[in-house]
């Protein structure tokens, strides 16, 4: 049976095929997105001419090593396609949870400037319904007065844990913010999105509602256990 990493690589390679000469391409962050950046880098080495817009410092460093020309978001008016990973995908809507890698603010800024947001996942990430009461939503908050912000989240019913580094220091995003990983009472994801958008001190959060145009899913084909197949999911409503 293909491993999870092998499935991710299949989805990443499929997504890289969507990139064409002359495109401005948003380059996502995280383990799956990095595989797509590497696949795009191989195509650049073969002569593909594109420009990338990275969503994190780690992605910028990887793209530079692969000799992918880069722009900042301020240097382009519109991005043709962005390829990124996701932590959980709702099958019918393609609403997603992102940001467990810590780059959610820049990922959402790049996605918002993109004509077509394509997400790549293995089959384990696809669910019938996002469940904010079970799966933590990353919430990026301003460090100044952060405990007050945490209190406002608690007042909404959230249970939060401050994200820490491996050496038990507060995790700090590329933008200099903290992240609280929050679960909520049994609201639907759209309601949680609305609530978080109105909390003072919240910079951004990991619910991407109505943004993805396509999700490329790699899964075991169920017949040959050494091979994978690709699903192209699009929102049904």
Q: Which residues are catalytic?
A: 107
Alpha-helical segments (H) within 55-201 = 57-65, 104-112, 146-155, 189-196
Bridge partners of 85, per DSSP, are: 120
Using the CB atoms, write b or e for 85-114: b if 16+ within 10 Å. Answer: bbbbbbbebbbbbbbbbbbbbbbbbbbebb
Sheet of strand 24-27: strand arrangement: 51-54, 24-27, 79-85, 114-122, 212-220, 228-233
CA separation for the pair 40, 69 (Å, rounded)? 11
CA separation for the pair 92, 74 (Å, rounded)? 33
- Indicate the SS3 state at residue 203: strand
């Amino acid at each position: 049976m293909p491993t999870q990493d092998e499935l991710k690589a299949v989805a990443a390679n499929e997504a890289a095929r969507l990139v064409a000469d002359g495109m401005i391409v948003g380059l996502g962050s995280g383990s799956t997105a990095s595989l797509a950046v590497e696949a795009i880098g191989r195509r650049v080495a073969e002569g593909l001419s594109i420009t990338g817009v990275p969503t994190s410092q780690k992605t910028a460093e990887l793209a530079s090593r692969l000799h992918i020309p880069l722009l900042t978001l301020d240097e382009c008016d519109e991005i043709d396609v962005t390829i990124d990973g996701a932590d959980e995908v709702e099958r019918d809507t393609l609403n997603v949870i992102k940001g467990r890698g810590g780059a959610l603010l820049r990922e959402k800024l790049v996605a918002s400037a993109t004509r077509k947001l394509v997400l790549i996942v293995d089959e384990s990430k696809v669910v019938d319904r996002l469940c904010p009461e079970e799966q933590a939503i990353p919430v990026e908050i301003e460090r100044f007065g952060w405990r007050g912000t945490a209190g406002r989240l608690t007042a909404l019913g959230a249970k939060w844990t401050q994200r820490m580094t491996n050496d038990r220091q507060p995790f700090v995003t590329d933008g200099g913010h903290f992240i609280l990983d929050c679960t909520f009472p049994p609201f639907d994801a759209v309601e949680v999105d609305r609530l978080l958008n109105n909390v003072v001190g919240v910079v951004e959060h990991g619910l991407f509602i109505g943004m993805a145009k396509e999700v490329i899913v790699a899964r075991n084909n169920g017949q040959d256990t050494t091979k994978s197949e690709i699903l192209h999911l699009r929102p049904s409503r």
